[in-house]
Amino acid sequence: MTAPTITPELAPAQITVTLDQWDRPVVVLPDDIAERLALSSRTDVKDYGYCHFESRRFGADTFETRAIRTMFEAVLALHPDERGLGQYERYGTGYFYGWIVSASGWDMTARTWNDYETTKHLHVDGIHLHHDGRSHFGS
């Protein structure tokens, strides 16, 4: 039996916000945190068709929701006009459809994916915060 792995809380200093080749924001996270969030983003997913899907909802005080809030703050600090995040700043709710990936899944020099298929398990799907404080992942 192996001991459970505990993923630490996501701290602002662990987040790198960069731009892809087309100047869209990319959130780069430590591998262990990205892996946990990617798994959460693909668990209990409802597929609505036409590339629209969402994960189960996460409570306001869960690791996932706290991490999403931390990522929103990091993106807003550098890209205050990013679509969807203006709602967060004004109302505490919003979304971010930009890329969220692990450090080993992103090539900072080329500003694109690093071996996309091999690191796909480290890509986090879109993030959303709701008025009631809960969150979910999806399109």
What is the span of the domain harbouring residue 38?
13-137
DSSP per residue, the chain: -PPPP-PPPP-GGG-EEEE-TTS-EEEEE-HHHHHHHHHHHTSSPEEEETTEEE---B-TTSHHHHHHHHHHHHHHHH-TT-TTHHHHHHHS-EEE-SEEEEGGGEETTTTEESSTTTTGGGEEP-EEE-TTS-EEEB-
What's this model's pTM, rounded to 2 decimal places?
0.88
Is residue 7 in some structural domain? no
Q: In the prediction, which pLDDT does 7 show?
A: 63
Q: Which residue has the tokens 């945190």?
A: 33
Please give the structure tokens belonging to residue 129: 């915060």
Q: In the prediction, which pLDDT does 3 show?
A: 41
Q: In the prediction, which pLDDT does 2 show?
A: 42
Number of domains in the chain: 1
Is residue 3 in some structural domain? no
Q: In the prediction, which pLDDT does 6 show?
A: 59
pLDDT tens track, the chain, 139 positions: 444 455 678 999 999 999 999 999 999 999 999 999 999 998 898 888 787 888 999 999 999 999 999 999 999 998 888 888 888 888 888 998 889 999 999 999 999 999 999 998 999 988 999 999 999 998 7
